[in-house]
Amino acid sequence: MYEILFALTLIFVLAAVLLLVAAQKGLSVIPFYLLAGALAGAAIDETQLLDLAQWGIAFLVFLFGIHVDVEAFRSTGRISVTVGLLQASIVGALTFGLGLAFGLDPLNAGYLGIAAALSSSLVATSYLDDESGAQPTYERLAESIHFTEDLLGVLAVLGLSAFVYTAAPAWEQIAVGGGLFALALGIRYLLFHRLTARLQGDPEVMMLLGISFVVGFIALAEAADLSIVVGAFAAGIAIADDYPHSLELVDTVDDLEDFFSPIFFVTLGALLTIPTLETIGYTFTLVVAVLLLNPLLVAFILLRSGFDGRTAILTGLTLDQVSIFSLFIALEAFAADQIAPPVFDAIVLAAAVTMIVATYTGRHAGDINRWLRERGLIRLLGEPLGDRTQVAEELEDHVIIVDFEHGGRQVLDACSVLDRPTLVVEDNPVLFEAIRDECDNYVYGDVSNERVWELARLEDAALVVSLTPEHDRAETVVDLEADVPRVVRVDSTETADEFLARGVAGVIYPDTIAAERVGEDLEALLEGDISREEFVERGRSHFETPADD
């Protein structure tokens, strides 16, 4: 008891200190955990923690399974599957070949290939979460590409446990794995809601139910000699992340994750040994593949499939880190004694390095995109333009609207009443059909691309209205070199000051406008000028609800 208490105390004290540092600097915490593990490895006996660390894996995968958003996947699914598969197989094959060239056996070269090919959704989603409001295009794309790659990760785990870790390779196990997922989907759509409805939201029993799902599926997986990762993922699929379960079940299980994930990552770090030259070589290979090759390849494929430069680059930049699944695979292989120590170390080290860099590139993605465009790289990769564009010949004195979704639609309606010509600049392909139906003039493309503005006849426009909540896009509109008044959305007083100083004609700060409107309505209600019914009516007058049935 003393040893394990000592180990846990050390892990959590280290984790707390590192989290504080990471939170202050806004960094991803996982590299810090790994580092802490490497340090703590001297003081603790990590083999004791393997039990708890495997729970860490189970919970992380389980939670990932829960958060899989099947709906979002559908909207951008086909393209993401293509992109994910292409990128993973090309980079994977390259690294695998390189591994063989280094003199590794096929299995260890395979681990390297997997680590280079797959990207981490857990790290990516944690910083993508911070964005408020509706998701921009690149996030949606990134999410479903990550999802594709995580599925590949699960398949890799499944394949490895069926063919590598067992004495006799067995196709039956693949079938059992498929059966597990079928069972999970069956539970999700047929049983889950019936089961939870009777609990009336008791969070304690809900949590136990969730945990017993994990445990049950893991037990099934184990019975079939499959990895626990497969079982945990299937368990996550079985649980629906919708209201009210999102509050009562998912959030409570999420809280448990915070307990198990430091244990997992610190234990992983503690398993590291002092790096040899060989380790450093592999690490370098992985880092180059993950940081440079993956983003560029993804951006290239996306540009070739018709996305604009910014979306392509920003999506690519979310893929520049080693996947958590690669870490699971490494740990499982380590425990099965099926991985060469330098390869294991290299995967963990590369994960730490790429995750640190990924936080940085994630935060400065907009700047990186601009920088790349100024260097002409995006044109080099072949940015398409004009094939989803329609601009009337004689268009002038028009209002250019950037971002259709965040109020652009209403502006459009107003303009059509006023007989004012309009043009929409948009980069979200999901909205394409709606825009084609509703707008006479539109340009699909990246606002940081000058050609977009030429097509949009900026020089002849009467006004540019930018409603995008994304800061880098707004900035681009602010800095446009044209003698056209611009009105730009901002989300803080500081940005308002800054943009006005940089020459925009006006700023739209939604919070203040809402405060003014709602404040007036509320005041009228409180002073007895309007009835509660009228107040409710006024609230409804600001928007049309879809399908008022």
Phi first, then psi: give them for residue 389, nearest 5 degrees: -135, 140
Task: Quickly count: other Cβ atoms within 10 Å of residue 273's Cβ.
Answer: 12
The smaller minimum CB distance to other proteins, of residues 43 and 292, is found at 43
Q: How far is the CB of 251 from other proteins (least distance, A)?
A: 6
Type of residue numbered 533: E
What's the longest Cα–Cα distance across the chain? 83
CB 487 within 8 Å of CB 466: yes
C-alpha 340/C-alpha 345 separation (Å) is 9
The smaller minimum CB distance to other proteins, of residues 147 and 404, is found at 404
C-alpha 94/C-alpha 105 separation (Å) is 15
The smaller minimum CB distance to other proteins, of residues 393 and 419, is found at 419
The two beta strands, 442-444 and 506-508, are unpaired
The smaller minimum CB distance to other proteins, of residues 12 and 284, is found at 12
The smaller minimum CB distance to other proteins, of residues 54 and 294, is found at 54
What six digits make up the tokens of 273?
Answer: 């040994």
Bridge partners (DSSP) listed for residue 389: 443
The smaller minimum CB distance to other proteins, of residues 69 and 523, is found at 523
Q: How far is the CB of 387 from other proteins (least distance, A)?
A: 28
Q: How far is the CB of 183 from other proteins (least distance, A)?
A: 15
DSSP string, 156-187: HHHHHHHHTSSSS--HHHHHHHHHHHHHHHHI
What six digits make up the tokens of 373?
Answer: 């465009």
Q: Sheet harboring 399-402: ordered strands across?
A: 389-390, 442-444, 422-426, 399-402, 463-466, 486-489, 506-508
Q: How far is the CB of 498 from other proteins (least distance, A)?
A: 10
**Which element (helix H / strand E) includes 399?**
strand 399-402
CB 104 within 8 Å of CB 112: yes
Q: How far is the CB of 50 from other proteins (least distance, A)?
A: 7
**Residue the block writes with tokens 């050390």:** 10
C-alpha 232/C-alpha 57 separation (Å) is 9
C-alpha 87/C-alpha 159 separation (Å) is 20
The smaller minimum CB distance to other proteins, of residues 106 and 539, is found at 539
The smaller minimum CB distance to other proteins, of residues 109 and 157, is found at 157
The smaller minimum CB distance to other proteins, of residues 5 and 101, is found at 5
Task: Quickly count: other Cβ atoms within 10 Å of residue 357's Cβ.
Answer: 17
Q: How far is the CB of 2 from other proteins (least distance, A)?
A: 6
CB 508 within 8 Å of CB 467: yes
Q: How far is the CB of 530 from other proteins (least distance, A)?
A: 4
Q: How far is the CB of 282 from other proteins (least distance, A)?
A: 21
> In sequence order, which residues have a C-beta less than 8 Å from that of residue 59 and are 6 or more positions away?
214, 232, 253, 256, 257, 260, 261
Type of residue numbered 58: A
The smaller minimum CB distance to other proteins, of residues 383 and 475, is found at 475
Bridge partners (DSSP) listed for residue 424: 401, 442
Q: How far is the CB of 469 from other proteins (least distance, A)?
A: 9
The smaller minimum CB distance to other proteins, of residues 381 and 425, is found at 425
Q: How far is the CB of 402 from other proteins (least distance, A)?
A: 12
Q: How far is the CB of 267 from other proteins (least distance, A)?
A: 12
